[in-house]
Structure 1
C-alpha cells in the first residue's frame, strides 16, 4: 500500500523532552492516556471508500489524533508563546484565548505568553502596537464577553517582518485564531520560518462565523451565531403576523456560504423563505421568488424571509469587483435590494404590504459564546497547545467526524465549504419552510 498521506503534519524536529503532565500510558489505570504518534483516524468513513482502498491497495487518508504527547519538542519551562486574533469578530474568540493561556500555564508551566494586538498588524513594529503580556489573571474572565480581548484587524503584513518580530521576541510558538485568510497568513509565516530553519511552531485555530472552513465539522462561533439569530427570527415573525400582508426580511451573515441562514431557519421554524449564496434564484417569472411570495401572502397573509448576505449577487448590475483588506469580495446589499424589489412588485399590483427589514449581523457576531460553543472553544485551545508543544507546525486543531484531529493548514484552505443543495441539510430547510425546490 502507498504510505503517502495528504494529512501528514510537519514537525520541527525530533522530540527532546518529556511532558510534565502525569498521564496514563496503558488502559485500566483510570488516567487519560498520552496520544501515540501512530494513532490515526480515517477521513472518509464510507463503505464505498473502504472497498475502494481494499481493491486498489491504496491506504486511506488518515488524520493525526489530537491530544497530549509524552515526548515533546519544546522544553516547557523555557517556552515563549504568542497569540494573535485576526479578521472579523465571532463568538468564542475570548474563550479560545483564555483556553490557550490556561493550557500553556497550568498544563505545561509556560511562564511567558504574549498577546499580539490588532491582528497581524501587531507583528509589524511600524504600526506601533505594543505586545501584551498574558497571564491567567488577565484572561480569567474574558470568556464572559464577545469580541476579542486582543483586538483584530483585516489584511496581512509583510511576512519577513512578522517573522523578524517573532524571532526578536524569542517566540517559540504562534497561535493564530482566524478564518481562511488568517490561516493562509500563518501558513505563509510557517513557510518563512522554514526557509530560515528557525524552530517556531505555527498553529491555526479555525474561526469563521460563516462555518465555511473546508473539511472540518464546524468552526467555533457558528453554533452561537444561529443560536443568537433564532430569537430575532421569532420576533421578526411576530412583526410579520402583526400586519395584513406583513413581510419581515432578515439578513444574516454568510458571504459565500449559507450555513447560518439555513441553521437559524431550522432552529426557529417560522421562516418561509431562505435565500443563500449557493442557490440561483430569479425574482420574476411564474416560478420566480416574487410570484412564490405573492402566493404565500394570498394563503397566509404574512411571510418571513431569511437571506444570507452573499445571496442573489447575480441580480445586481455588474460592477468592478471590490475587495476588503482580507481579500474578500465586498457584496452589494441584498437585503435592501430585496425590500425595494418586493415593495415595487406589490405596488405595481396595488396590493398593500407592510415590510420590515432587519440586519442583526453585528449583534450576532459580537455575542459571547453559548455553552456548547464554550466547551468547543476550550477543547480546541487545549488540543492546539498539545500539538504545538510536540513540535508540530502549520496545522489546525479541529474536529472531523466528531473526533479532534490535526490537519495541515494547506488542506483546509484549498477551497471554501458550501452548502450542497443536494444534501440533507438543504432538504431539511426546504421541508421546514415549505418554499419551492426551485425559484427560477
Structure 2
C-alpha cells in the first residue's frame, strides 16, 4: 500500500522557503500519517517487522521547488456547488500572496471550460482585495461547470499564462480530470504542479474523513427534519418526508438523522430496502404512534422505480426522483387500506449546498487551502490534500478516484442510526 501512497514531485526542492523567517512549523520530509488508527490494524505489520501503510503528512517544507516571484498560479472550481468553495479560493489566494509572495493568481471561470483556450473565457485575476469578502457568500466566485475539456486546450492556457501550480477544487470527476492533466504534464516534462482540493457535499471521496461543506449541509438538513417533525405531529397519522442530497452515499442523511432524534426511518443508498417491507413498517408505526418522520437520501430506492438510466455531462448517473415517487406510493398505499394519512413532503435540495460555510467548515477550508499551497510550492503534483487520522495528508489522485467512499451497513455509524430511529434492521 505504501508504494501506492508515494507522492510524485516535479524535482528536488532546493530554494529556501519564504516562510523561514516567520518561524513556521515545518514538516520533516519523512513525516507520515498511519492509515490505520487501532492496534488491531497495525499489529500484523509490526509482527512481520514492516512499517504499517501510511500517507505523507501535509504542511510547509523548509525548501520549495518554485521561485514564487517568477511564476503564476491558477485556481479552478468544478462540479456542483458546495458550502465553503469561496473560503477555499480565498485561503489559496491569501496564502500564495502573503506567505509565498506570488503576485499573479488566476481564477479560471466556469470549471475546466474556463481553462480551455478554445472556450474564450477570460480568467479572473485574483488579489487579496478581490477575495477579501467572498467567504461570506455561498457558491463560488469563479462559477462552475461539469464535463471534460481537451488536455491540449487546457495546457495551452497554462503555458501562455506561465501558470506553474494549478489548484483544482472538486469531486471525483474533477480529480479524474486533474489526474489526466497531471499525467500529460509529466509525460511532456513540463514544470507544472497539479494539486487537488477535495470537494463533495456527499462526503463520498475516499481517504478523506470529512469533506468541506459537509458540516454546513448536515446542519441545514437538520432544519428540514425539524420542520418535517412539526408537520407530522400536526396531523393525525401525519408523515413528514424529507429528501436529502446523497447520490451514492448516505452520509448527509445518516448524520442529519443522528442530529435529530425525531427521525423514525432513515433510507440510504448503501442499505437496500424492500418497498413493501418499508410500507409495512411505516403502517405499523402509524398505528402505534400516529406520526412518522422519514429521512430519504436521493440515491436510495432507485430500484423501486422503472425507467432507463441516463447520465449527465460528467458521466454521473441521473437519478430518478425517489422523493416524489415515495410520496405518491405512500399516499396510494394508505388510501388502499382505507387508513387516513397525510404526507408532508419537503425537498430542501440545493438549499443545503448553496449556503455560506458555517464556522467549522470555514476553519477547515482555510487549512485545506493553506496545505494545498504548501504542497504545490514544494513541487508535489498529481496529489490531493486529504484529512486522515486527525492530520492533513498528501494523497495520490489515483487513490482518491479509484473508488467511492460509502457507508458500511455494519459500521458503528449505521448501528447508531438504527438505534436512534428504531427502524427494523431489515425491511
- The interval holding the TM-score normalised by the smaller chain is over 0.9
What displacement does 1:45 show?
A: 2.6
Please state if 1:7 is matched with 2:5: yes
Structure 1 stretches of 4+ moved >6 Å: none
1:18 to 12, 16, 22: 16
The yes-or-no answer on 1:299 pairing with 2:288 is: yes
In the alignment, structure 1 residue 196 sits paired with structure 2 residue 185: no
SS state at 1:332 partner? coil
- Asked if the contact 1:276/1:308 (under 8 Å) is kept, the reply is yes
Q: CA deviation at 1:33?
A: 2.4
Aligned to 1:120: 112
Q: Distance in 2 between matches of 1:56 and 1:22?
A: 40
Instruction: Give secondary structure in 1 for the equivalent of 2:201.
Output: coil
Q: Per-residue CA shift, 1:318-337, capped at 9, x if unaligned?
A: x4321111111111010011
Structure 2: how far apart are the matches of 1:210 and 1:23?
40
> Counterpart of 2:199?
207
Rounded Cα–Cα distance in structure 2 between residues aligned with 1:197 and 1:50: 38
Task: Verify the 8 A CA contact 2:108 2:114 in the aligned structure 1.
Answer: yes
- Give 1:23 shift: 5.6
Q: What's the counterpart of residue 400 of structure 2?
A: 412
Structure 1: stretches of 5+ with no match in the other structure: 25-30
Q: CA deviation at 1:58?
A: 3.4
Query: Are the aligned partners of 2:117 and 2:156 in contact in 1 as well (CA < 8 Å)?
Result: no
CA distance in 2, matches of 1:20, 1:352: 70
What CA distance in whole angstroms lies between the structure 2 residues aligned with 1:50 and 1:423? 19
Question: Of the candidates 410, 428, 437, which is equivalent to residue 425 of structure 2?
Answer: 437
Matches within 5 A, 1:17-416: 17-22=15-20, 31-284=23-276, 288-317=277-306, 319-416=307-404
The structural deviation recorded for 1:423 is 0.3
* CA distance, structure 1, for counterparts of residue 231 and residue 261 of structure 2: 15
SS at match of 2:56: strand
- Contact 1:246–1:302 (Cα < 8 Å) also in 2: yes
CA distance, structure 2, for counterparts of residue 18 and residue 298 of structure 1: 72
In 2, the alpha carbon distance for the partners of 1:275 and 1:202 equals 38
- Over residues 41-90 of structure 1, what are the superposed CA-to-partner deviations in whole Å (9 max), with x where a residue is unaligned? 22123323322112334332221111111110001111200000000000
**Distance in 1 between the 2:120 and 2:344 partners?**
44
Q: Which runs of 5+ in 2 are unaligned?
A: none
Give the conservation status (yes or no) of the 8 Å contact 1:5–1:62.
no
Deviation for aligned residue 1:402: 1.1
CA shift for structure 1 position 152: 0.1
Counterparts of 1:413 and 1:58, CA distance in 2: 27
Deviations 1:202-235 (CA, angstroms, capped at 9, x unpaired): 0000000000001111111111100111111101
Q: Do 2:207 and 2:386's aligned partners in 1 also have CA atoms closer than 8 Å?
A: no
Q: Would you say the 8 A contact 2:236–2:341 is kept in 1?
A: yes
Shift of 1:5: 2.5
Deviation track 1:268-292 (CA, whole Å, cap 9, x = no partner) reads: 11111010001111121xxx00111
Whether the 8 Å contact between 1:23 and 1:34 is mirrored in structure 2 is no
Using the TM superposition, give the Cα deviation of residue 4 of structure 1 relative to its aligned residue in structure 2, in angstroms: 5.2
Give the alignment's Cα RMSD to 1 decimal: 1.2
Structure 2 counterpart SS, 1:6: helix
- TM-score normalised to the size of structure 1? 0.95
Matched length:
427
